[in-house]
Structure 1
Amino acid sequence: MLLTAAVLPAAAGERAAPRPRLCPQDAPPGVRLPDRPECREAPPAAVRSTAPGFIDLGNDTSLRVSGRAGYEIGYGRR
């Protein structure tokens, strides 16, 4: 029983794969990463005209933002 408990943590450590390093072009929006020599050069972004209300999320994905917002305040007497 003790032998099994001693072997399992060592085997688990050997299976762990190294974490991939993110390149600046692969980072989520709003995150800045330092330049790395092993990262590939970012291809030039195609200039597209977007319609008003659309946000380009990348990878040929866009988000349409539209609608109205309102706020009402009412005073009532009891």
Structure 2
Amino acid sequence: MNVDRLEKSLIDRIKIAIRQQLSARHVPGLILQIPDIPYTINMKKVEVPIRRIIEGRQIHATGSLANPDCLDYYRNIPELNKW
């Protein structure tokens, strides 16, 4: 999948907005543009499989995901190897 990179100026604006509207504690260390977010068939965002993939754990997509193929993107994100 070819995803354009977020420009540094946009990332900086996002971080400033989060700091102003919430707090410095809420500003993420890493902001990435992603091609898709996994959803259930009821259109609820799914976070747990992504966390498990990033932690290096094996997951098995279930029939409850509307777009299980999008999980493949999260298996090898080079930017996360720097953390």
Bigger proportion of residues as strand: 1
For normalisation by structure 2, the TM-score amounts to: 0.22
TM-score by length of 1: 0.23
Q: Which structure is higher in helix share?
A: 2
**Greater RCO, 1 or 2 (C-alpha within 8 Å, sep 6+):** 2
Larger radius of gyration: 1
